[in-house]
Chains A and B, each alone.
Chain A
Amino acid sequence: MDARRESESTPMKNRTTVERKSERELVVTRTFNAPARVVFEAWTRPELFRRWWAPKSMGMFLRSCEMDVRAGGRYRLEFGHDASNPVAFFGRYVEVTPHSRLVWTNDEGGDGGSVTTVTFEESGGRTLLVVHELFPSKEALDAAGTGAADAMPEQFEQLDELLLTLGAGVRTS
């Protein structure tokens, strides 16, 4: 009922879910109100990709973005406001199947890198997007601290830490 009311006024915002599917896997899902070819385009054209991958609301700043989107092609993303000390993420596309599947490696962490698989499932003009991250071990997942989260500024971590402390204190008292 709420959803209907929402869709009448503003474009409907869908829910993002995250699940730790196993010790080595994280799965993120979201539905987009568009056909798979449109969503796929936004993931594979660098000038579109860079507009959403580093949301300003999270305080992230994407310095540069190079993507050679084809099987075997490389990508490199550099984050951070400090040009002399950018945080780089890079790897290789393993599979690029138009409008349905993208697979790439995350090589910045050396051998402990994860493999990201993105699938686009179209149904009735909408697209269910599933981002699946597979780590080589439980330790690698734990240590990753979500690689991307590292690109977020320190004040977010400090805030998280504070919120965590407050939450923990309230619950245990």
Chain B
Amino acid sequence: MVQYSTSGFDASFAALSDATRRGVLEQLGRADASITDLAGKFDMTLTGMKKHVGVLERAGFVTTEKVGRVRKCRLGPRRLEEEAAWIERYRQLWNARFDELDKVVEELKGKEPVDGRQTRE
């Protein structure tokens, strides 16, 4: 089969295609956790969770570090891009709101008499 995409592209897709791995990212978005913590939270074996974390790590979504006997996981360099996307979504929401608010405001302006302040008082 012909490979159209780059390896980075494939790794990202593969990493996010799995519900558990998306759950792990969500979880790490809240707080760092060890592989044991994650295995417990997702009701999985340690080996199974290690595999998932490995996939996320290769795609750059997660970084891990051995602290004593525990392997700590946290969100990786991709996090910055996630934040940019998050802010953009937030902006889009407000922008859509304000486009609607513009319409309401125009309508209210239309209802006001031209010299609104004087006639109102």
- With A34-B109, A168-B78 known as contacts, the answer to whether A145 contacts B93 (CB < 8 A) is no
Q: Are A38 and B8 in contact (CB under 8 A)?
A: no
Q: Are A51 and B100 in contact (CB under 8 A)?
A: yes
Q: Are A13 and B94 in contact (CB under 8 A)?
A: no
Which residues of chain A are within 8 angstroms of B103 by Cβ–Cβ distance?
52
Q: Could you say which of A38, A143, A148, A165 contacts B105, with CB atoms under 8 Å apart?
A: A38
Number of interface residues of B (CB under 8 A): 41
Q: Are A55 and B96 in contact (CB under 8 A)?
A: yes
Q: Are A32 and B102 in contact (CB under 8 A)?
A: yes
Which residues of chain B are within 8 angstroms of A32 by Cβ–Cβ distance?
98, 101-102, 105
Interface of B (DSSP majority class): helix
Q: Are B99 and A172 in contact (CB under 8 A)?
A: no
Within 8 A of A (CB), among B55-109: 60, 78, 81-82, 85-87, 89-106, 108-109
Q: Are B108 and A149 in contact (CB under 8 A)?
A: no
Which residues of chain B are within 8 angstroms of A145 by Cβ–Cβ distance?
86
- With A16-B91, A146-B89 known as contacts, the answer to whether A53 contacts B97 (CB < 8 A) is yes
Q: Are B105 and A146 in contact (CB under 8 A)?
A: no
Q: Which residue on A lies nearest to B105, using beta carbons?
A: A34
Number of interface residues of A (CB under 8 A): 48
Q: Are A52 and B89 in contact (CB under 8 A)?
A: no
Stretch of A1-9, A66-74, A88-96, A156-164 that contacts chain B: A156-164
Cβ of A41 < 8 Å from any Cβ of B? yes
Q: Are B97 and A52 in contact (CB under 8 A)?
A: yes
Cβ of A42 < 8 Å from any Cβ of B? yes
* 19 A-B contacts (beta carbon < 8 Å): A11-B102, A14-B98, A16-B94, A18-B91, A26-B90, A28-B90, A28-B94, A30-B94, A30-B95, A32-B98, A32-B101, A39-B105, A52-B103, A139-B30, A146-B86, A156-B89, A160-B89, A166-B9, A168-B81
Residues of chain A having any CB pair with chain B under 8 Å: 11, 13-14, 16-18, 20, 26, 28, 30, 32-34, 38-39, 41-42, 48, 51-53, 55, 57-58, 129, 131, 139, 142-143, 145-146, 148-149, 152, 156, 160-161, 163-173
